[in-house]
Amino acid sequence: MSERKTFFADIILPLAVDLTFTYRVPFELNDTIKNGVRVVVPFGKSKLYTGIVVRVHEEIPKEYQAKYIEHVLDESPIITGKQLKLWKWISEYYMAPIGDVMNAALPGNFKLASETKIVLHPDFDRNYDELNDKEYLIVEALDVQDTLDLKEISQILQQKSVHALIKKLIDRRIVMSVEEMRYKYTPKTATFVQLNSQFSQEEVLSELVNELEQDGRKKKQFEALMHYLKAGGFAQNTASPVRRSELVDAGASLSALNTLEKNGILESLRLEISRLNSEDTTLTETKELSPEQTTALQQIRENFQEKDVCLLHGVTGSGKTEIYVELIQEQLAQGRQVLFLLPEIALTTQLIDRLSAYFGDLIGVYHSKFNQNERVEIWNSVLRDDPTKFRIILGARSSVFLPFKSLGLIIVDEEHENTFKQYDPSPRYHARDVSIVLSHLHGAKTLLGTATPSIETYFNAQEGKYGFVELSKRFGGIQMPEIQCADLKKERRRKTMHSLFSSFLLEEMKTALDNKEQIILFQNRRGYTPIWICEVCNWSPKCKNCDVSLTYHKHSNMLKCHYCSYTIPPVGTCSNCGSNRLHMHGFGTEKVEDELSLLLPGVTISRLDLDSTRSKDGYQKILEQFGKKEVDVLVGTQMVTKGLDFDNVSLVGILDADMMLRYPDFRSFERSFQLMSQVAGRAGRRNKRGKVIIQTGTPEHWIIQQVMHHDYVTMYKQELIERKNFGYPPYTKLIYLTLKHKSEQQLEGSAADLAQQLKAVFGSRIIGPEYPLVRKIQNSYIKIIRIKMEREASHKKIKGRLQEIINQFYSSPVNKSVRISIDVDPV
Ligand SMILES: Nc1ncnc2c1ncn2[C@@H]1O[C@H](COP(=O)(O)OP(=O)(O)OP(=O)(O)O)[C@@H](O)[C@H]1O
Ligand SMILES: [Zn+2]
């Protein structure tokens, strides 16, 4: 036997510290310990954590006595060396503790901690025979107590570490973590029909069949029933449920099916179907590209010969998706994996359906609201580089953390969307930018696609850092929508406004409705009216925890805070001057919906915003109904601007352009242009040119003019001048430090202190501290210090110094209770 060596392992723990921790490897684990496996380790007096091994070595830690690793959870690594490199890059670039990065990267089920709460899995069928004694004890306890945390379980079993045991139960779907339950997976269901049990006896059934067959008027019903009996396997003496749509596809008449149901011969029921079941998605052929699309595809390929990143700037409705499809196919043919990043999974079901129709089971949809087991399943397939499944991952930002093995291409669709940036918690990463690094690690390519590029991306393309390809025409020769302004100042003067609607917009809406065409209305604000203001002194009711005015929600007849949900009934008199002349100021989507139903009675209206979609499957149902033309007008917040592709929308109304333009941020013009152009792009996508009406008091505003003329380039050039003059990205890089504290006084002192230390080193690169627009949230005061770094400066060095100064700041006891969050490249 060889000499017994003593090994140590450096481990990342799920803690907000930028350190790895060294533990001693017990001899019996010498052969199983490897980089990238999960281990369970003790921490502090009584805690146990799951961590990831990142280095195995023989160096005895000098400062402390290393504790022993308790367990190794995996036989082979669950994360790869490339992932670890990416984690380190994210940690350094975004100044985030490596433990935070690990937390963001791993699916919940991978991270059992002492506080993790466990419940019985709903799938567990209480087959106690499959349990050993310890497992039985846990299950029994959960039957009585509903939830247990790992500490309680270890008391029940009188055993210190229970991680390995729980992991096995999770894998076998006997228990699950509460975190998983919170995002309970809602299975996809479909309508099935089955034979009423009355007819299950052969004699009864054949009598029925004869009767239908002989009555000439019931021919359709007879056929429909035969279709069912065939598909339901009646010849084999079963009559199992059959999907209704399957029968219709096979030729059964829909109305005959309805009649059979009405007469109690068939009954309908909803059953669960698999989301990724190839049986229910018949794959469709890809479309033949137009000459413009073919050219663009060719140019992208050429760009990729020399460059790793390429921007595809294609106007709305130009058919970018079909180009993506071609590129994906090329990668699949070469046996490589593809990552397709989307800004928001919930709002992009249309795109997911389109891609699923082409690629079926090869697609895996990955996002944080999914069931944890499903996430783990995708994770493991990607890690195995499974050639039959999940070759293409469609995902929101967190899918950049998957353990790709042979990544060939990343497509970032709608690259300008700021939902790609994670704001809270740390790491505050931008998935588009992380993608570029991830591709680089794999020798892969990144395609950024959008109709309205972010200024930074367009700048990089202009500078030649990225390749650049344009699609300037819509697919199928459809013209870009015609955009006009409704001049609110004029209409108000002439008294032709109908509450929130100009006569111009209202007339156009009536015409569209007469033509049986659909309408999308965009108002970038939810709720009924943002504020309730005193006409005399401008006072408005404020949240008691946050420094914001309360928003009126008509549905509940309450004033509510959007930051902390503090709620009070509406007030009748001003508490400042006592007047009772309180009125509503500004308006949200709920109010638009209400006013419209008064102005156009009989029109069906649906609302798409955070409030209306909170319910399960809310957004999906709303979009489905709109797609089926069951709804005439869709009113929404920026949710309606994102990639919707409906063929019958002829009119888009933008209700309040000025509000967006007035927002005090250096990006507000860029963003207004993007939002307006994107929502305008939903009009007239297939058959006929669409129309867009922008309601504004300043039709001459250059941003509005540029939107009207579909003139991205002029907007870009003008913005660039502003950015240069005022030192904003892309000419500088920004870091925002947000300081929070319950005491205003303490915060002011500490912030001033930090700013002073920063200024001593960085001089005029430091701006602030300043209060943000909302200076108090949930009883904490907030101050921001901004750091501007010139493009040419060494950002790495600056970040290093900055971290030192922050550490020094914290070494002073008075500052200990101040929280600082660091946001690199804020959006
Ligand atoms: N080659 C093609 N053959 C047939 N139809 C096509 C083709 N290319 C695109 N289309 C159709 O044109 C419409 C617009 O295409 P698509 O949705 O891909 O545009 P897009 O560039 O992604 O637009 P947006 O940026 O507005 O989302 C879609 O309905 C699509 O099915
Ligand atoms: Zn509040």
Measure the CA–CA gap between 8 and 66, rounded to whole angstroms. 8
Say which range, 158-162, 300-304, 625-629, 744-748, has the weakest mean pLDDT.
Answer: 158-162
Nearest alpha carbon, ligand 1 atom 1? 289
Helix (H, G, I), strand (E, B) or coil at 522: strand
Nearest alpha carbon, ligand 1 atom 31? 319
- Distance of CA 782 from the midpoint of ligand 2 (Å): 14
Q: Which segment, 179-183, 548-552, 623-627, 651-655, is predicted with the most confidence on average?
A: 651-655
Q: Hunting for tokens 């670890």 — which residue is that?
A: 84
Count helices and strands (H / E) in the chain: 26, 34
Q: Name the maximum alpha-carbon separation found in the chain.
A: 98
DSSP β-ladder status, 567-568 and 649-654: unpaired
> What number of CA atoms fall less than 13 Å from residue 737's CA on the CB side?
26
Helix 712-726 with 668-680: angle, nearest 10 deg: 170
pLDDT at 529: 57
- Distance of CA 647 from the midpoint of ligand 1 (Å): 11
Helix 795-811 with 744-762: angle, nearest 10 deg: 140
**What's the average model confidence in pLDDT over 335-345?**
92
Q: Is residue 477 packed enough to be buried (19+ CB in 10 Å), middle (13-18) or exposed (0-12)? A: exposed
Among residues 410, 487, 482, 478, which one has the least CA distance to residue 442? Answer: 410
Measure the CA–CA gap between 367 and 374, rounded to whole angstroms. 10
Beta strands in 535-591 (DSSP E): 551-553, 558-560, 567-568, 582-585
pLDDT at residue 47 is higher than 70: yes
Measure the CA–CA gap between 39 and 69, rounded to whole angstroms. 7
Helix 618-627 with 349-359: angle, nearest 10 deg: 80
**How is residue 220 written in tokens?**
């359709």
Measure the CA–CA gap between 275 and 187, rounded to whole angstroms. 8
H or E element, residue 512:
helix 503-514
Asked whether residue 310 is marked as a ligand-binding residue, the answer is no
- Distance of CA 541 from the midpoint of ligand 2 (Å): 11
Are both 291-476 and 482-524+600-722 of the same fold? yes
CATH class of domain segment(s) 482-524+600-722:
alpha beta
Domain 732-824 has CATH 3.30.70.600: yes
pLDDT at residue 184 is higher than 50: no
CB 685 less than 6 A from any atom of ligand 1: yes
**How is residue 407 written in tokens?**
């990544």
Rounded percentage of the chain residues whose pLDDT exceeds 70:
93
pLDDT at 468: 98
User: In 440-474, which positions are buried (b, 16+ CB within 10 angstroms) versus exposed (e)?
Assistant: bbbebbbbbbbbbbbbbbbbbbbeeebbbbbbebb
> What number is the ipTM of this complex?
0.96
Say which range, 147-151, 330-334, 344-348, has the weakest mean pLDDT.
Answer: 344-348
Among residues 791, 802, 790, which one has the least CA distance to residue 761? Answer: 802
pLDDT at residue 313 is higher than 50: yes
DSSP β-ladder status, 337-341 and 407-413: parallel
Nearest alpha carbon, ligand 1 atom 16? 319
H or E element, residue 730:
none
pLDDT at 558: 83
Residue 590 — very low, low, confident or very high, per pLDDT cuts 50/70/90? confident
If you compute the radius of gyration of the chain from its CA atoms, what whole number of angstroms results? 30
Say which range, 12-26, 281-295, 526-540, 790-804, has the weakest mean pLDDT.
Answer: 526-540
Question: What rounded mean pLDDT belongs to the chain?
Answer: 87
Q: Hunting for tokens 């921490």 — which residue is that?
A: 43
pLDDT at 528: 53
Measure the CA–CA gap between 406 and 201, rounded to whole angstroms. 57
Among residues 581, 583, 582, 604, which one has the least CA distance to residue 593? Answer: 604
CB 475 less than 6 A from any atom of ligand 1: yes
Asked whether residue 574 is marked as a ligand-binding residue, the answer is yes
pLDDT at 457: 97
279 CB-near residues (< 8 Å, 6+ apart): none
- Residue 427: asked if its preceding bond is cis (omega within 30°), the reply is yes
Among all bound ligands, the one having the nearest atom to the CA of 477 is 1
Please tell me which residue, 296 or 43, carries the higher pLDDT value: 296
- One-letter amino acid for residue 248 of the chain: V
Atom of ligand 1 nearest to the CA of 678: 26
Helix (H, G, I), strand (E, B) or coil at 359: helix
pLDDT at residue 654 is higher than 90: yes
Beta strands in 331-387 (DSSP E): 337-341, 363-366
- pLDDT digit string, tens, across residues 709-734: 999 999 999 999 999 998 999 999 99
pTM, entire model? 0.79
Superfamily designation of domain 7-110? PriA, 3(prime) DNA-binding domain (3.40.1440.60)
CATH class of domain segment(s) 291-476:
alpha beta
Residue 185 — very low, low, confident or very high, per pLDDT cuts 50/70/90? very low
pLDDT at 564: 75
CB 426 less than 6 A from any atom of ligand 1: no
**How is residue 755 written in tokens?**
């700013």
pLDDT at residue 612 is higher than 70: no
pLDDT at 613: 63
Q: Which segment, 154-158, 597-601, 685-689, 786-790, is predicted with the most confidence on average?
A: 786-790
Please tell me which residue, 668 or 326, carries the higher pLDDT value: 326
- Residue 488 and residue 497 in contact, taking contact as beta carbons nearer than 8 Å: yes
Asked whether residue 561 is marked as a ligand-binding residue, the answer is yes
Domain positions in the chain are 7-110, 117-182, 188-273, 291-476, 482-524+600-722, 529-586, 732-824
CA-to-CA dists, residue 94 to 269, 439, 728, 821, angstroms: 51, 18, 19, 11
Ion ligand 2, residues whose Cβ is below 5 A away: 543, 545-546, 561, 563-564, 566
Q: What is the DSSP annotation of 669-690?
A: HHHHHHHHHHHHTTSS-SSS--
pLDDT at 625: 85
Among residues 584, 561, 602, 582, which one has the least CA distance to residue 500? Answer: 584
- Distance of CA 476 from the midpoint of ligand 1 (Å): 9
pLDDT at 182: 41
pLDDT at 638: 80
525 CB-near residues (< 8 Å, 6+ apart): 586, 587, 588, 589, 637, 659
Q: How many residues make up the chain in this entry?
A: 827
Q: What is the DSSP annotation of 630-662?
A: --SEEEESGGGGSS---SSEEEEEES-HHHHHH
